Structure 1
Amino acid sequence: MRRILRRKKYVYIWAKYSLEDKQDKKLRKAFKEKLDEYLKLAKEKPESIQVWFWDGAFKVATQVRHTAPHECGFSLRVIRRRAWTKKGKRKKVNGQRKRGRVNVMGALRYNDKKRVCFMIKKGNSETFHEQLKKLHEEIRQEWINLGNLPEDFREKGPKIIIILDNASYHKKKDVIEQVEKELPNIRLEFLPAYSPDYNLIELVWHSAKEYIANREFENKEELEKVVNQLLNEGELIIKWSRKLKNKGNAVNVT
């Protein structure tokens, strides 16, 4: 039977989980058209509009795992990945469990792929609001450093489009009202349900996971230092030309 299947060009591989049956294709199409327009404007008029991709909480471990649609994490257990080794031998990693994890919230600017990531204690609405204010202030300072007046930022500064998922704490009414009142330059654009393939920052998390795979960390502090170097100090190299997969779908992110 195997020979027959191989002759017919079948291969024996893992089945793939799919989100397609949970997605609303019309909503995805409409959002993709809106997103494409934002990205086009951001390229043509970067001084007027910026597009940032946001993810709620990136939980960091030597084991990096998604614990919820909006959360991502590294804990102190080694992540196993495929690795090159001599035929007949298998690479061994320490399977001992360790306590400790690092939580991160972050954003990625589309035009220049600038990353702004914050180490946090916990992902919730209060933390989300605080980190959003920090991102807003960083963009404001960047604008002022170009020779603009601080008092002009509200009216003349760039519009900041934040692409993010539907985590409950992203959509709390009081948080949205605070953002509209305190950070008028920011506009939140929520992804359609089950559409992580439209969020470019997922590729950052994926690349970070690959970097720390098969590595062991002694403690949380060592892990946090490496994560910070990867995400905020430019040590993480990302292949932006690769496709960002969504449990069966794939969208080119460049």
Structure 2
Amino acid sequence: MPAKDFLDLEEKKNLQKALKEEERAEVRERILMFLLLNDGKTQREIAEFIGCSLKTVAPWCVHGDPNNLESLEDGRKNGNHKKATEEYINLLLKIVDEDPKEFGYEFGRWTAARLAEHLEKETGIKLSGSQVRRILRRKKYVYIWAKYSLEDKQDKKLRKAFKEKLDEYLRLAKEKPESIQVWFWDGAFKVATQVRHTAPHECGFSLRVIRRRAWTKKGKRKKVNGQRKRGRVNVMGALRYNDKKRVCFMIKKGNSETFHEQLKKLHEEIRQEWINLGNLPEDFREKGPKIIIILDNASYHKKKDVIEQVEKELPNIRLEFLPAYSPDYNLIELVWHSAKEYIANREFENKEELEKVVNQLLNEGGLIIKWSRKLKNKGNAVNVT
């Protein structure tokens, strides 16, 4: 039996990481055996701790290799999987990431059966689609929906330059919050067919039920009312980076006049906040914080007369427009995403009830957001945090 602390630090860290990430319970159990051995536990103590027999523990402690997790798999369950050689598996993992058109096929995606058929031509090894599927799952592949990508429309140089500028703004906002504030502004997100992404862009909540996945007994599906209702709540809002403060406005319609009015309200909110700290109102223009607004390229955001009015009336505000097709750089997208998830599968009787709930979520602290989350279906799914 190995001596206590027989694992070096790197081996121990790798096993601890594998213990968290491994999906198969039996492999997690065998990883735990090695960690307990490393702590000085005997095989009998490990068996009692895990709740199994000594005969189950002993072979893995003797023959398992902590540096090779595949040695902790039960070879008796491989079955026909052994027909797949190492070369076959490597070729499979390469081809599955390739476009089928590269091999002369008309279809647009690989299925397990199509992969099995193609690889039989390439290698002469015949496997079923289910066998190929098992290999892919063991290699951490999953069969899920493809996502829409904006990469082909994005200018990488512009995105890189903007990200560097944004990072510098965020750094200054952290170091000197009294001198500079960074706000993410938006009024646009789409809730499936319930919220239309229109131009001008405003954030809209429809009375039609937002359908999302929910727990239900196997073989049954949860039903929600699919009837369309008239009524819609539109929102414009901003999110401050440092403290994640949200300021959201219920609006009738998104246009340049509305945008200008809501921007003035945000400016006044920040001004009053600054005055409440003991500063003089007349000093705000010169001594107040510079307000960086990160926003998209909606036509009414960039209207010439609106920009001129902002520069004249709100000199503390500086508008920084995102590169085209870069919603993943706008942190407030996560607010809209979280809000629509929160009200999913709920039916609202009228517009007033919907507006009340939306206001509670966005302005009264009713919405708790996991800021580390990535933005789904937003280009590269990378956010500014």
Give the TM-score, by structure 1 length.
0.93
**Alpha-carbon deviations, 1:132-181, whole Å to 9, x = none?**
00000000000000000000000000000000000000000000000000
CA contact (8 A) 1:166 1:193 kept: yes
**Alpha-carbon deviations, 1:183-220, whole Å to 9, x = none?**
00000000000000000000000000000000000000
Change (3 A) 1:215 1:64: farther
Question: C-alpha separation between the residues in 2 aligned to 1:89 and 1:69?
Answer: 41
Query: What runs of 5+ residues in structure 2 fail to find an aligned partner?
Result: 1-131
CA contact (8 A) 2:199 2:298 kept: no
Residue equivalent to 2:223: 92
Runs of 4+ in 1 over 4 A off after TM superposition: 1-10, 57-62
Question: C-alpha separation between the residues in 2 aligned to 1:147 and 1:62?
Answer: 48
Secondary structure at 1:133 match in 2: helix
Change (3 A) 1:58 1:9: closer
CA contact (8 A) 2:328 2:375 kept: yes
After superposition, the CA RMSD in angstroms is 2.1
- Mark the structure with the bigger radius of gyration: 2
CA shift for structure 1 position 62: 10
Question: C-alpha separation between the residues in 2 aligned to 1:239 and 1:3?
Answer: 33
Change (3 A) 1:85 1:68: farther
CA shift for structure 1 position 12: 2.6
CA contact (8 A) 1:57 1:103 kept: no
Question: C-alpha separation between the residues in 2 aligned to 1:62 and 1:17?
Answer: 16
**239-248 or 211-220: which moved more?**
239-248
Question: C-alpha separation between the residues in 1 aligned to 2:136 and 2:254?
Answer: 48
1:174-193 to structure 2, matched below 5 A, reads 174-193=305-324
Change (3 A) 1:53 1:248: closer
Question: C-alpha separation between the residues in 2 aligned to 1:61 and 1:244?
Answer: 15
Question: C-alpha separation between the residues in 1 aligned to 2:191 and 2:237?
Answer: 12
CA shift for structure 1 position 247: 3.8
Change (3 A) 1:13 1:62: closer
CA contact (8 A) 2:327 2:378 kept: no
CA contact (8 A) 1:63 1:79 kept: yes
**Alpha-carbon deviations, 1:11-44, whole Å to 9, x = none?**
3321211100000000000000000000000000
1:1-254 to structure 2, matched below 5 A, reads 10-57=141-188, 63-64=194-195, 66-67=197-198, 70-245=201-376, 247-254=378-385
Secondary structure at 1:230 match in 2: helix
Question: C-alpha separation between the residues in 2 aligned to 1:69 and 1:8?
Answer: 46
CA shift for structure 1 position 45: 0.2
> What is the total number of aligned residue pairs between the two structures?
254
CA contact (8 A) 1:59 1:101 kept: no
**Alpha-carbon deviations, 1:94-115, whole Å to 9, x = none?**
0111000000000000000000
Say which structure, 1 or 2, has more relative contact order (CA 8 Å, 6+ apart): 1
CA shift for structure 1 position 69: 8.8
**Alpha-carbon deviations, 1:46-104, whole Å to 9, x = none?**
00000000003568999345445944321111011000111111110001110000000
Secondary structure at 1:179 match in 2: helix
Question: C-alpha separation between the residues in 1 aligned to 2:304 and 2:355?
Answer: 32
Question: C-alpha separation between the residues in 2 aligned to 1:140 and 1:6?
Answer: 56
**238-247 or 78-87: which moved more?**
238-247
Question: C-alpha separation between the residues in 1 aligned to 2:196 and 2:216?
Answer: 25
Compare the two structures and name the one with the higher helix fraction.
2
Give the TM-score, by structure 2 length.
0.62
Change (3 A) 1:57 1:242: closer
Secondary structure at 2:382 match in 1: strand
